[in-house]
Amino acid sequence: MDFRFRVAFRIVLIGLVMALFTYAINQPNMVFAAGLAGLIIVGQLSELYYFCSQTNRKLTRFLESVKYSDFITGFAADNKLGRSFRDLNTAFSEVLEAFRKARSEKEENWQYLNTVVQQVRTGIISFDADGKIQLINANAKRFLSNNTLQNINELTQRNPELHKAIMDAEPGKSVLYKSSIDMQLTIQATELRVRGISLKLVTMQNIQSELQQQELEAWQNLTRVLRHEIMNSITPISSLTSTLREILDQDLVKGRENYYEMNQESADDLRDGLGTIENRSKGLIKFVDAYREYTSLPTPKFKVVLLKDMIDKVAQLMRSDIKKTPIQFTHLCESEYLTIQADEEMIEQVLINLIKNAVEAIGNQENGKIELIGKYSDNTVLIEVHDNGPGIIKEALVRVFVPFFTTKKTGSGIGLSLSRQIMQLHHGNLTVESEPNVSTVFTLRF
């Protein structure tokens, strides 16, 4: 039956009873009937109010279903009260179904994300300001050697060094922690807010195998270089020593009064051979000195350095040497306020070495140009050394930073490798890009 008809029917009944109440109250012998009619009127009014307020009760029930995620509740019982009720019930059911699907999708996404987090090789752990762990995956438990960790501060008892490394990890920086012979962790952190709670998300990755592979390759490269340089010196020395011994055995003869004599040609051969041995020995000593220089860099003394002042100083130091060449040299710093944390003398040495290399590469080439530029790009302070010399071929480009590798006829081959090592000590990097016969750019990134 339609809702409006039911309301009208109740109002008509109330009207009839009120008419009866009015009639009875004016009759002396119908006082009881008047009282009964009054009670009936009160009951009818209460029932009418209750009947009309069911829409509010329905809305309250709907909101409670949303609040408590009760998406099973139905709203079809009063569809017979009219089209408006059917439409309202349909809308409520559709909204609840949308909420149910959204929650189901959210749970599926969470399960998917949790599965991915648990399967990745990287250890992941997040905790709040009190140290309470919000998320931890299987690899993190393995790295921490603890499967029941509830609070990150529990690590202070079992592994205080690892706890300190995790707590000291700053956003944007990496911390290296060696936990055992077969495990060396690189720790990175980021900070975020979730539902108004500040969280620290820490990732840990075991790079022991990668480091061992890099170490093996480094030793192989070093052994190859050492073998090459030592053999280049020892082989001719050994050969010459054998030749000189033959000269002494064959051409040195005993003369009068126990004096030994040798003809002029043999003496000259002996002199030349000894000179060659001396030169090769000096070359070997020079190589050992270069190796010692490469392996004994001092620890940088960091301070705040104004980039413009340092570039101006390097330009001033190099200007007198460049004036002797036809090369055009320019320098600039895009901002007077850029600063870096660095050992100024070490970075100046890197820039001087790069500029000298550029000068040697350009040589007497016409229209030679060298630019020294300081700038800020992509949240990074950069120093670039540009030149338009012959450039570096692709095959040599990947090896220019290998110790003792050089494309020059003279030189130790450690200048660029030393420069990159200095940048690594500054937590930065040195890279090169080159297009032969067009331009070469060495970039220092801080």
What would the pLDDT profile of 89-98 be if each residue is shown by its tens digit?
A: 777 777 777 7
**What pLDDT does 411 receive?**
52
Token representation of residue 413: 């081959």
CATH assignment of 303-445, among 1.10.3720.10, 3.30.950.10, 3.30.565.10, 1.10.8.60: 3.30.565.10
The answer to whether the CB of 400 falls within 8 A of the CB of 222 is no
Domains of the chain, residue spans: 3-102, 121-206, 211-295, 303-445
User: What percent of the chain lies above the pLDDT cut of 70?
Assistant: 70
What would the pLDDT profile of 50-90 be if each residue is shown by its tens digit?
A: 666 666 666 777 667 767 666 666 666 555 555 656 666 77
Which one has a higher pLDDT value, 284 or 204? 204
Instruction: Please state which CATH class domain 121-206 belongs to.
Output: alpha beta
Position 390 pLDDT exceeds 80: yes
The reply to whether 303-445 shares the fold of 211-295 is no
Average confidence score pLDDT of the chain: 77
Name 175's Cβ contacts closer than 8 Å, sequence gap at least 6. 165, 168, 169, 186, 187, 188
What would the pLDDT profile of 290-319 be if each residue is shown by its tens digit?
A: 566 655 667 888 889 899 998 888 888 888
Mean pLDDT score, 20-35: 73
**What pLDDT does 356 receive?**
85
Mean pLDDT score, 213-235: 67
The answer to whether the CB of 191 falls within 8 A of the CB of 200 is yes
Q: What is the CATH number of domain 211-295?
A: 1.10.287
Position 143 pLDDT exceeds 80: yes
What would the pLDDT profile of 153-206 be if each residue is shown by its tens digit?
A: 888 888 888 888 888 888 877 888 876 556 788 888 888 888 788 888 888 888
**What pLDDT does 225 receive?**
64
pTM summary value: 0.45
**What pLDDT does 78 receive?**
56
**What pLDDT does 118 receive?**
79
